[in-house]
């Protein structure tokens, strides 16, 4: 694969990783606005909640791509820095698409940290507001309402924690490769594959934790058989 195609592929790859973290606060903000601010959010009003995450990650992608564009000067610098490791046995890994200086690396790490920490700060703040609001209301709510709110809370926690857990393994491995200057291209790609599953986390988590969805997709056979027997006896 050419350097240009690799660069485009990796740019989109990191764009969706950062977007996954930027989107985490959206359901928390939505629940906060509906429960506490009592706003009627639907249609285009709901879509506006996604403007900030998409804008932030798009800006991040543009200047990160600028910092890491594999110019000849950057490639020569990287060859000098990692020559004994990444050029061994006649192999050439400089067509991977992303090459950056130490300043570019520190900048991108700082920006990604801001996105992640900012997202989880919003999640924490909204969660505290929602918890205080529901704490007083749930005592007077019906059992069905309490159960529904409990399911929603579990879903949102799983959606917030899931991407972070999936993200940590490849990041730790990449950090090891950079610090030790180990040539582990194949393993790096393998450890990076879990990042591709982040966009699937939210629907899977929602289906699993929401009883109506879970029971529809994974029906309880014992309950179904009992219902069939009852219907037969009644007829």
**pLDDT the model gives residue 126:** 92
pLDDT at 210 over 60: yes
pLDDT at residue 225, as a whole number:
45
Using DSSP, state whether 140 is helix, strand or coil: helix
Does pLDDT of 39 surpass 60?
yes
User: Of the given ranges (68-72, 141-145, 171-175), which has the lowest mean pLDDT?
Assistant: 171-175
Higher pLDDT, 144 or 87: 144
User: What residue ranges do the domains of the chain occupy?
Assistant: 3-220
pLDDT at 148: 78
- Estimate to the nearest angstrom the gap between the alpha carbon of 165 and the chain centroid: 9
Tokens of 77: 């610098």
Confidence bin at 52 (pLDDT 50/70/90): very high
Gap between the Cα atoms of 234 and 129, Å rounded = 50
Q: Mean per-residue pLDDT for 176-198?
A: 60
DSSP state, residue 23: T
DSSP for 23-88? TTHHHHHHHHHHHTS-----THHHHGGGHHHHHHHHHHHHHHHHHH---HHHHHHHHHHHHHHHTG
**pLDDT score, position 118:** 92
CB 215 within 8 A of CB 187: no
Q: Show the tokens assigned to 36.
A: 């506490």
Give the mean pLDDT of 9-29. Answer: 82
- pTM for this predicted structure: 0.69
| Mean pLDDT across 13-34 | 85
State the pLDDT at residue 3: 60
pLDDT at 217 over 50: yes
Tell whether the model's pLDDT for residue 91 goes beyond 50: no
Q: How far apart are CA 17 and CA 195, in angstroms?
A: 7
Write the CA distances from 68 to 93, 112, 135, integer angstroms: 15, 14, 48
């Amino acid at each position: 694969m050419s350097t240009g195609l690799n660069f485009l592929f990796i740019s989109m790859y990191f764009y969706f990783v950062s977007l996954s973290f930027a989107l985490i606060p959206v359901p928390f903000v939505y629940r906060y606005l509906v429960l506490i601010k009592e706003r009627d959010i639907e249609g285009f009003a709901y879509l506006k909640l996604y403007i900030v995450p998409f804008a932030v990650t798009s800006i991040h992608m543009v200047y990160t791509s600028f910092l890491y564009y594999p110019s000849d000067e950057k490639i020569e610098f990287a060859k000098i820095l990692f020559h004994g490791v990444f050029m061994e046995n006649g192999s050439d890994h400089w067509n991977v698409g992303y090459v950056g200086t130490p300043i570019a690396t520190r900048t991108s790490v700082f920006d990604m940290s801001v996105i992640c920490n900012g997202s989880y700060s919003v999640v924490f703040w909204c969660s505290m507001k929602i918890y205080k609001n529901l704490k007083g209301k749930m005592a007077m709510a019906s059992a069905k309402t309490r159960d529904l709110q409990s399911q929603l809370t579990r879903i949102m926690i799983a959606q917030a924690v899931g991407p972070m857990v999936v993200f940590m393994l490849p990041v730790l491995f990449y950090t090891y490769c950079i610090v030790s200057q180990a040539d582990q291209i194949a393993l790096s790609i393998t450890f990076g594959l879990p990042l591709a599953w982040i966009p699937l986390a939210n629907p899977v988590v929602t289906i699993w934790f929401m009883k109506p969805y879970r029971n529809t997709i994974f029906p309880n056979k014992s309950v179904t058989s009992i219902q069939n027997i009852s219907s037969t006896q009644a007829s």
